[in-house]
Amino acid sequence: MWHQVHNPIRRVAIKATIALIAASLFAATASQQVLPLTKQRSYNVMQVAQIDEAPSTIGIADSELYLSTSLAEINARLDLMQSLGVTNVRIMVPWAGVQPLHPDTPFGLGAPRWDQLDMVVNAAASRGMGILGVLNSTPMWASGSTPINGQPTNFDRFASFAKSVALRYGDKISAYEVWNEPNSIQFWNTLDPAAYTEMLKKTYTALKQAASQIGTDITVIGGVVGAGKTWPGLTMNPVDFVRKMYEAGADGYFDALSFHPYNFEWKFSVGENLPWKEGMPLYQLNKIRELMDSFLEEGEEQVKIWITEYGAPTNKVSEATQAAFVRDLIEFWQTMQGAGPIFLYTIKDWLNPPADNDEANLGIFRPDGTMKPVGQVIKELIAFLTKPPTDPGPGTGPGPGTGAGSGSTNPVAAFLKAISQAFTGMFKLGPNLFSAFGSIFTNLLGGLFGRKTTTAKTAAVSARTASAGVDVVQDPVDASDDAAEAIADGSADTTETSTGTTKAVQDVLSVLQVQEAAQPVVVDEVPVVDEVVVQEPVLEEPVVEAVTEEVAVEESTETVETVTDEVTDESAASEQVSSEAATTALTGDPELAVAESPVTAGPEVRKVAVPNLKARQALSTRSPRGPRHAVRANSDSGQGGSTPTRQRAAAGSAPGGDR
């Protein structure tokens, strides 16, 4: 009788299994044909010696590297930079230092002298640092007037020198500035924007040719103008200088423009509402941006503006004010459109800095190597701004998964995928259910005929895994083993009824259910182990990340308050910077900023725009650019105000110098 019933059931089961397999294979194959491919979000990995052009990039401009007398001194200065988290450096590439004598000088004396520059470039490149080179300084033989700051008589020779530098160092130097502050007679004795533009165009072309030869991209940066007003014969305000550059055809011959917003009396974020705003760096920068954008064609991206020098000398302001000025610049810079990297000037004060020399006192470190408060500000902001992204965010491709966009749903694909998943679950469910019922039935019979129910634990686990669709049954932890064995050993009567056996199985299931409820916490605890103290649901990772950022903000705020407390008594009345205003940019609450001037009789109180640092988490990478075509050149320029002059003459130092 049993044999007769078993064969039909077996035949039906076999046929049903074959049908299920066929349907599952069809659904899986069809879904692959109609489901769109998922595009995963990928991140660009920065190459060695590559400068990230995001505004969160903070580097150091250090002219003294080229003037260092030994490799040990160079490494010591680079060590100080890296102790702050700095990975990019701006160095001098002085034509007068590399080729001080005419190339035709007899006995080979006119050959280029690369030793010093090799030492600097190789030392920085060996650390994986990005290098920005400043091409400047005219040799005596190439100048029609004075050396160093004299306008070259032959721009082709200068362009040839620039190309030779690019070919020699390849991708070790990824960006070049063409000259330094040509709107000041201290560095460009003719103050002629048209002549500078002619040299820029030739140099741009030569550097791009070198980039093509070595198979890499080179960013060419033009302008390199300093903030300030026009003093006839001495300086030209940067707005007029850049406007005349465009009038001379500069558009399309630089990949970025650089600016030096020095002002030792007012913070960078202050300047739009002052009576003498025409002379303030922020006002001038906004005018330059308007001018540059007026030459953009439809759909063309903004040309970035880099800050390649900025600082405040501690012979003019207190160390606390220096720290506050630098913090203000970095934080406000994150809110500006088309903003590029920042390079702060400089890493260390001169050995015996004269009290009347501003440049000698611009260092982040004192002559003895101890750090000024500004160093801690830089370190904290670099750590905050360069945190790697933890979530790639929404992508551009359709389909599920990380990096997928919100493309339209394919109903046919969704139906076939659902069928495939259902059949897969059924295949997983069936064997486990049979195993679970078989184990329970065996245990029941064992209890009736005097066998110990040692497999009750396995039966419970099989039932649990069957309902979850698990392929392989894993042994529970030792706690459930002990519970099952205790129940089994406690069955003194070998002829226990089925009711007693069922009760034992239920007790084991109760223990295992408690364990099962705890298991998801164990599984999910690994990726969020550091977030328990937040007291938020474990799976709400975005909320936890936001809280983590706020904690980092609070630590930065406390540091600023410590820095502010270090204001010296002599300058407390006029130079102490409010810690509440320094905290504004990170907390997101607008506050009143007090900018105190040693010249004015009282402080200037105004509302400062609140920068949003959280909006600058994504990395931006450079793509090769070609010449752009001008549309029009029409912008107003302003002049007025004042800016301090830096008193170190380039001609009085060793060959070359960008300061």
Domain boundaries, the chain: 1-38, 58-387+616-652, 421-526
- Between CA 119 and CA 122 the distance in angstroms is 5
Tell me phi and psi for residue 472, to 5 degrees: -110, 130
Of 80-84, 215-219, 260-264, 593-597, which gets the smallest average pLDDT? 593-597
DSSP assignment string, 343-393: EEE-SB--SS--TT-SGGG--SB-TTSPBPHHHHHHHHHHHHHTPPPS---
Confidence check: pLDDT of 641 > 60: no
Confidence check: pLDDT of 257 > 50: yes
What's the pLDDT band for 385 if we cut at 50, 70, 90?
Answer: very high
Contact 196, 187 (CB under 8 A): no
**Nearby residues of 9 by Cβ (< 8 Å), 6 or more positions away:** none
Q: Which residue has the higher pLDDT, 210 or 492?
A: 210
The position carrying tokens 């302001």 is: 317
Three-state DSSP state, 622? coil
Mean pLDDT for all residues in the chain: 72
Q: Which residue has the higher pLDDT, 378 or 507?
A: 378
Peptide bond into 495 cis (omega under 30): no
For 4-22, how does the pLDDT look when each residue is reduced to its tens digit (9 = 90+)?
Answer: 555 666 676 677 667 666 6
User: Cα–Cα distances in Å, from 495 out to 305, 453, 487?
Assistant: 89, 12, 15
85 burial (CB, 10 Å; 0-12 / 13-18 / 19+) is: middle
> Residue 276: what pLDDT?
86
> Residue 229: what pLDDT?
95
Both tokens of 207, joined, read 């550097």
> Residue 6: what pLDDT?
58
Of 218-222, 389-393, 607-611, which gets the smallest average pLDDT? 607-611
Q: Which residue has the higher pLDDT, 50 or 561?
A: 50
DSSP character at residue 60: E
Three-state DSSP state, 62? coil
The position carrying tokens 């800016």 is: 643
The position carrying tokens 């020198």 is: 161
Would you put residue 46 in left (φ > 0), alpha (ψ -120 to 50) or beta? beta
Confidence check: pLDDT of 171 > 60: yes
Three-state DSSP state, 557? helix
Q: Annotate 239-250 with b (16+ C-beta within 10 A) or e (fewer).
A: bbbbbbbbebeb
- Between CA 425 and CA 427 the distance in angstroms is 5
369 burial (CB, 10 Å; 0-12 / 13-18 / 19+) is: exposed
- One of 3.20.20.80, 3.90.1300.10, 3.40.50.1370, 1.10.8.80 is the CATH number of 58-387+616-652, namely 3.20.20.80
DSSP character at residue 222: E
96 burial (CB, 10 Å; 0-12 / 13-18 / 19+) is: buried
Contact 55, 340 (CB under 8 A): yes
Of 25-34, 67-76, 97-106, which gets the smallest average pLDDT? 25-34
Contact 657, 65 (CB under 8 A): no
Both tokens of 384, joined, read 């905050």
Confidence check: pLDDT of 113 > 90: yes
Determine the average pLDDT of the residues in 88-98.
98
For 517-527, how does the pLDDT look when each residue is reduced to its tens digit (9 = 90+)?
Answer: 444 444 444 44
> Residue 490: what pLDDT?
43
Both tokens of 295, joined, read 């030459």
Contact 261, 209 (CB under 8 A): no
Express as a percent the part of the chain with pLDDT over 70: 52
Would you put residue 629 in left (φ > 0), alpha (ψ -120 to 50) or beta? beta
Both tokens of 256, joined, read 């970025």
Handedness of CA 381, 385, 386, 387 (dihedral sign): positive
- Between CA 565 and CA 572 the distance in angstroms is 10
Q: Which residue has the higher pLDDT, 537 or 106?
A: 106
Q: Which amino acid is at 82?
A: Q
